[in-house]
A and B are shown apart, each in its own frame.
Chain A
Amino acid sequence: MSARDAILKRLKERSDGPLSVPESDFSVVTHRGWSREERLERFERLISSVHGEVVHTTSAEWTLALAEVLQRKKIRRLALGRDHPVAAEAREALGDAEVELVDVDRDIESWQREQFETVDAGLTSTRGAIAETGSLWLWPTADEPRQISLVPSMHIAVLDAERIEDTFFDVIENNAWAGGMPTNALLISGPSKTADIEQTLVYGVHGPRELVVLLRHPREPT
Chain B
Amino acid sequence: MSVQSEPVQTFTPGEFHRQAHDALGNPQIRSNFRKAMDGLMAKRRDVFSDWDLEVLRDLGANIRMRALAKLPDLLEQLEANCQANGIRVHWAEDGDEACRIVGEICEARGAKAVIKGKSMVSEEMHLNEHLEAAGIEALESDLGEYLVQLNRQTPSHIIMPAIHLNTDEIADIMHDKTGIERTRDADAMTAAARLQLRKRFMNADVGVSGVNFAVAETGTLCLVENEGNGRMTTTVPPVHIAVTGIEKVVEHLRDVPPLYALLTRSATGQHVTTYFNMIGSPRKPGEHDGPEEVHLVLVDNGRSRIYQDDELLDTLRCIRCGACMNHCPVYTRVGGHTYGTTYPGPIGSILMPHIMGLEATKDLPTASSLCGACGEVCPVKIPIPDLLVRLRKESVGEGRGNVAGAGTKRSKKEAAAWKAFQWLATHPFVWRVGTSVAGKLRALTPSRLGVWTDYRTAPKPAGTTLHALVKRHQANKTHGEDR
Q: Check if A and B associate.
A: yes
* Interface residue A222 (Cβ < 8 Å from any Cβ of B): no
The listed residue (B202, B274, B289) touching A188 by CB distance below 8 A is B274
Say how far B414's CB is from chain A's closest CB, in angstroms.
29
Chain A residues lying within 8 Å of B79, measured Cβ to Cβ, are 4
What string of 1s and 0s marks CB contacts (under 8 Å) between B309-334 and chain A? 11001000000000000000000000
B91 located at the interface, meaning its Cβ lies under 8 Å from any Cβ of chain A in the complex = yes
Q: Tell me whether A59 is interfacial, beta carbon within 8 Å.
A: no
In the bound complex, CA of A14 to CA of B308 (Å): 5
B460 to chain A, nearest CB (A): 45
Q: Which residues from B are CB-within-8-Å of A169?
A: 254, 257-258
Given contacts A107-B288, A181-B280, A188-B275, A205 and B190 within 8 Å (CB-CB): yes
Partner of B228, one of A16, A177, A187, A205: A205
Q: A145-B287, A147-B289, A178-B252 are in contact. Are A168 and B257 (CB under 8 A)?
A: yes
Interface residues on A, range: 35 or more
Alpha-carbon separation in the docked complex, A206 to B225 (Å)? 11
Alpha-carbon distance between A169 and B287 when the two chains are bound, in angstroms: 28
Q: What is the 8 Å Cβ interface bit string for chain B, positions 262-282, against chain A (1 contact, 0 not)? A: 000000100111111111111
A1-39 contacts to B, CB under 8 A, are 2-4, 6-8, 10-12, 14-16, 18-26, 28-29
| Complex-state Cα separation, A222 to B36, whole angstroms | 43
B193 to chain A, nearest CB (A): 7
Residue contact B229 to A205, C-beta cutoff 8 Å: yes
Tell whether, in the assembled complex, residue B286 and residue A142 are in contact, meaning their CB atoms are under 8 Å apart: yes
A208 within 8 A of B: yes
Residue from A4, A22, A135 within 8 A of B66 (CB atoms) = A22
Complex CA–CA separation, A21 to B281 (angstroms): 30
Flag if B187 contacts A202 (CB, 8 Å).
Answer: yes
Partner of B227, one of A4, A26, A194: A194
Residue pair A172, B261 in contact (C-beta under 8 Å): no
- Looking at the assembled complex, report how far the CB atom of A209 sits from the nearest CB atom of chain B, in whole angstroms: 9
Count, chain B residues at interface, CB 8 A: 99
* CB interface residues, B 20-59, toward A, < 8 Å: 32, 35-36, 39, 51-52, 55-56, 59
Q: Does A186 contact B (CB under 8 A)?
A: yes
A window 157-195: CB within 8 A of B: 167-169, 172-173, 177-178, 181-195
Supposing A3-B97, A10-B308, A15-B308 touch, asked if A26 and B254 sit within 8 A by C-beta, the answer is yes
Q: Given A15-B309, A202-B187, decide whether A187 and B276 contact each other with a Cβ distance below 8 A.
A: yes
Determine whether A105 belongs to the interface, using a CB cutoff of 8 Å to chain B: yes
Bound: A197/B114 CA distance, A: 24
A7 to chain B, nearest CB (A): 5
Alpha-carbon gap, A25 to B307, bound state (A): 25
Contact A16 B310 (CB under 8 A): yes
Q: Choose among A8, A23, A168, A187 the residue that contacts B275 (Cβ–Cβ < 8 A).
A: A187
B142 contacts chain A at the CB level, 8 A cutoff: yes
For B304, what are the chain A residues with a Cβ–Cβ distance below 8 Å? 7, 10-11
Q: Is the CB of A145 within 8 A of B226?
A: no
| Interchain CB contact under 8 A, A50 and B274 | yes
User: Is the CB of A119 closer than 8 A to any CB of chain B?
Assistant: no
C-alpha spacing A16/B304, complex, angstroms: 12
Q: Which residues of B pack against A, CB within 8 Å?
A: 32, 35-36, 39, 51-52, 55-56, 59, 62-63, 65-66, 68-72, 75-76, 79, 91-93, 97, 141-144, 147, 160-162, 165-167, 170, 186-187, 189-191, 193-194, 197-198, 201-202, 217-220, 226-229, 231-232, 235-236, 246, 252-258, 260-261, 268, 271-284, 286-290, 298, 300, 304-305, 307-310, 313
Known: A7-B91, A183-B283. 7 other contacts (CB 8 A): A7-B300, A21-B70, A26-B254, A116-B198, A183-B281, A197-B190, A202-B190
16 chain-A/chain-B pairs, Cβ below 8 angstroms: A6-B93, A10-B304, A19-B313, A105-B288, A134-B272, A141-B287, A151-B232, A172-B254, A183-B287, A194-B226, A196-B162, A198-B36, A198-B167, A198-B186, A205-B226, A206-B232
- 9 residue pairs, one from A and one from B, having the closest CB atoms: A207-B228, A196-B144, A133-B272, A192-B228, A187-B276, A19-B69, A4-B91, A108-B289, A11-B72
Instruction: Report A's interface with B, CB cutoff 8 A.
Output: 2-4, 6-8, 10-12, 14-16, 18-26, 28-29, 46, 50, 104-108, 112-113, 116, 132-135, 141-142, 145-147, 150-151, 167-169, 172-173, 177-178, 181-200, 202, 204-208
